[in-house]
Amino acid sequence: MALNSEGKGILPRVPSYSAPSRFFTRPGASEVLIELIERSALVLKELDDGGTVAVDSSGFCTTNRGAYLTETHEPDRRHHWLKAHILVGVRTHIVHSVKITDEHGADYTQFIPLLNREKALGHNPRFVVADKAYLGRSNLEAAAENGVEPYIPFKTNTRGLSRGAPMWNRKYHEFLSKRDEFDERYHQRSNVEATFSAIKRKLGEPLNSINPDAQVAEVLAKILAYNIGIVIKEACLLGLPPGPIGYASLKRSPTLNSTTPAPSWRKPGDPPPAATGQAEAEA
């Protein structure tokens, strides 16, 4: 049934196909989308709190010309990118916060803003994992100041003696003496790569917008659509009935419990669904 059909009261009419493009070019569209992304992640806050978050970045191509056209008419033309820097919850794969930069935006400088935003939103992760691009004294110390244990691997030429950086020294010796434990925690970083993979496979990597501001908004819209899918998936798996102000408290339970009403598509007596923390992000 169409959303704009009589009696539904959801959409007064079918939107124009150009409505997204007009919205993307509006001043402040990116700020609105970022706020919606952050709000959507707060729905599953109870599942991610006390766990691990992962930080990484990936590019979205701003030129969508085919290879034949490029090689024939503009052989020297190179693709340009926007970089999405995101922080995701390892348990749910939902994006907690995001920052968009151009293709030259350094990963290292985005670690502290993303982590500070994570705490400002009220999330309480216990661990944060990131690759070697984020390794640095200021990032490790910032994680410690936020009460989060960082797991960032060290490079082969790094040293464990750094004056005024106790977290650097501690993590360096932990990296050497407890390598198996360190790697076990660090390898959870693959969850943020799975998140980017899911976004690009479902919603596409190339951007169709031409306006630079609209391109930023388009990346954010892809991430928001992905987050909404994650919320719907978790609600279905946990049997959470939607209400006028959101879902019932998750109680940090990875499965249905006896007090949670089963959704209409599940038969009485059906076993609860399995936990979803280890699966790749699929809406």
Output the DSSP codes for 52-70.
EEEEEEEEEES----HHHH
pLDDT at 64: 60
For 23-81, the pLDDT digits (tens) are: 999 999 999 999 999 999 999 999 999 999 999 999 999 876 555 555 565 555 566 88
Sheet holding 127-129, edge to edge: 95-102, 81-89, 52-61, 127-129, 149-151
For 234-251, the pLDDT digits (tens) are: 888 887 766 544 555 554
Nearest Cα neighbor of 155 from 182, 134, 139 is 134
CA dihedral sign, ordered 214, 216, 217, 219: positive
Strands (E), the chain: 52-61, 81-89, 95-102, 127-129, 149-151, 242-243, 246-247
Beta pairing class for 246-247 and 242-243: antiparallel
pLDDT at 165: 79
* pTM for the predicted model, two decimal places: 0.78
Contact predicate 152/129, CB 8 Å:
yes
| Percent with pLDDT over 90 in the chain | 55
Kindly give, in sequence order, each residue whose CB lies less than 8 Å from that of residue 58, ignoring residues fewer than 6 positions away. Answer: 83, 84, 196, 200
Torsion of CA 272, 239, 265, 38, to 10 degrees: -130
Q: Looking up tokens 């990346």, which residue turns up? A: 219
Beta pairing class for 81-89 and 149-151: unpaired
Judge whether residue 219 has pLDDT over 70: yes
